[in-house]
Amino acid sequence: MKKSDIKEYMIVEIGYEDGRYLVMGNSIVDDELMEFSLDDFDEDLIHKKEKPYSISKVYEPVKLPLPLELNIEKIFKEQNPKLLWKRKPTLLSKAVLSRMKKSEVQKYVTNLVYPCVIVE
């Protein structure tokens, strides 16, 4: 899936927090209309500045109920949109992490694209 494939009213999930957002215009918004701009993401749906906030899942577009009450979880539950794309997990090596200093681990982890899976 590419950024150019993203359509209005698709639901997307952000990998770091698994939060669901609704695509509206050039923004992805939550229930309180807190938003990310799609311009913050590269064509591979990776956040340009904060990689953990990259898009990890994309669902088909939903229909917004009228009058509009933006409750993404309720809309998601009622319409059960089909999952169109899921990011493959980034592999984290336990051995590599164990050799790093705490400060190095923090820096390393903040530059990962989520979701992550720890492997031996």
By the 8 A CB rule, do 78 and 26 touch?
A: no
Helix (H/G/I), strand (E/B), else coil: 27 = strand
- Please state the domain count of the chain: 1
In a domain, 29, yes or no: yes
In a domain, 30, yes or no: yes
pLDDT of 97 reads 85
Amino acid at 52: P
Whole-structure pTM value: 0.87
Pairing mode of beta strands 27-29, 35-37: antiparallel
> Where in the sequence is the domain holding 74, given as residue range(s)?
3-87
In order along its 120 residues, the chain shows pLDDT tens digits of 999 999 999 999 998 777 899 999 999 999 888 788 999 999 999 999 999 999 999 999 999 878 777 899 999 999 999 999 999 998 888 888 888 888 888 888 888 888 888 888
In a domain, 114, yes or no: no
